Amino acid sequence: MSILVGRDTRLVVQGITGREGEFHARAMREYGTQIVAGVTPGKGGQTALDGAVPVYDTVEEAVRDSGANTSCIFVPAAGAPDAVLEAAAAGIATIFCITEGIPALDMIPVVEMVRARGARLIGPNCPGATSPGRAKVGIIPGPIHREGRVGVVSRSGTLTYEAVQAMTDAGLGQSTCLGIGGDPVIGTTFLDALQLFAADEETDAIVLIGEIGGAAEETAAAWAAAHLADVPKVAFIAGRTAPEGKRMGHAGAIISGGAGTAASKVEALEAAGFRVAGSPTELPGLLRDAGYRG
């Protein structure tokens, strides 16, 4: 098994004819992901990826003709919220929004509307997800992965890459690597991801990569303490030296009123049984220390 993406993923790429969309769609297809359609308004009837993928004007047409069940969005920030809503309205079950720079106020109603339709949104401003050996959706580099049984969830794309490479180098494979995005308003949280991993029979250990800002890590830690007590789990929190009131990197990475500090997150995670690393490269060793043998 895997979570969110796998061999049954039938992907439509919204914005496939743009520079970023075409580049990453090609990489996803080369990894083995089934890309069954692309969408660019006004370019319906054309093809992409050297004629291999039909392009449609709307997601509704793409779903009707191709049976797409997953979407990956490479649409500029001004149009991305509408692109998410279009995918949900067309019946897409899993929506990855890679686009960054979307105002938080624009995403608040979008997240609620997607949930109301029974779909799942990952992102925005996320790198996507990879289930090694099965499928990858988004921009995570394929070669860093190794098939295995460690679930990885992160707010940061680049830290995900570093942690996954370190695990692969140590011989620890991954079941699914998921980037949930670093914006203040996102569709899938750490808690959601932990619940998905807990239900996955092929995930035996968990790596959580968080950062300053918000309380998502603390919320996930409280749930893990009650439901993942016997699961080897490790974490890393970025931004330990960040000053209060200054945004660091992601839009959601800001300490406000003393809340959302690295110290509070580390404390909550350790209390829940996570071993917390000082750097991403320490994660494989801490997994071994937690009893995971891979």
Q: Are strands 47-48 and 53-56 parallel, antiparallel or unpaired?
A: antiparallel
Distance CA 19, CA 166 (A): 30
Closest alpha carbon to 11 in 40, 43, 42, 33: 33
Q: Which residue is associated with the tokens 């209390």?
A: 271
Complete DSSP assignment for 56-115 = ESSHHHHHHHH---EEEE---TTTHHHHHHHHHHTT-SEEEE------HHHHHHHHHHHH
Complete DSSP assignment for 209-251 = EEESSSSHHHHHHHHHHHH-TTS-EEEEEE-TTPPTT---SST
Q: Does 145 qualify as catalytic in the annotation?
A: no
- CB 62 within 8 Å of CB 91: no
Half-sphere exposure of 174 (CA within 13 A, CB side): 35
Q: Which residue is associated with the tokens 């991801």?
A: 193
Query: Which listed residue (24, 145, 227, 250) is catalytic?
Result: 250
C-alpha distance from residue 57 to each of 10, 39, 62 (Å): 18, 6, 8
Closest alpha carbon to 217 in 181, 268, 256, 263: 268
Q: State the catalytic residues.
A: 250
